[in-house]
Amino acid sequence: MLSLSLEQIKENISYARKKAGMTQEEMYKLLDITQPAYSYYEKGEKPIPLNKIQKICEILSIPIKSILRDISLDESNEDTLLKISNNLERIANTLDKLYDFIANKQ
């Protein structure tokens, strides 16, 4: 099973922030959180809520997968992840159709 550690996520966030030319101060202000809270995220000391990861990606204008991926993955693993993502999308579409079907029955 593929899992991403806090260490990898914090490295990805730090790398993306620096690549965008932003400081930690700019980030925590734009995220509307305290400096210590943001520092915990980049140090990997606390898990980052998904809504904050999404906001970080919006601020840095990057796709969320760039934060949530293991940058050491090789091409074959990325292909596998793409297949998994496609399967999850199909499952979500099927669930949407099932929900609509049930909602229309009532």
Long-range contacts of 34-42 (CB under 8 A, 24+ apart): 41/10, 41/13, 42/10, 42/13, 42/14, 42/17
To which CATH superfamily is domain 1-70 assigned?
lambda repressor-like DNA-binding domains (1.10.260.40)
* pLDDT per residue as tens digits for the range 8-63: 888 889 989 999 999 999 999 999 999 999 998 888 888 888 889 899 999 999 99
Select from 48, 12, 17 the least CA-distant residue to 33: 48
55-76 residue pLDDT tens: 999 999 999 888 887 655 444 5
What is the rounded CA–CA span in Å between residue 25 and residue 38? 9
Each domain of the chain, given as residue ranges in start order, spans 1-70, 73-106
Lowest-pLDDT range, 2-6, 24-28, 59-63, 85-89? 2-6
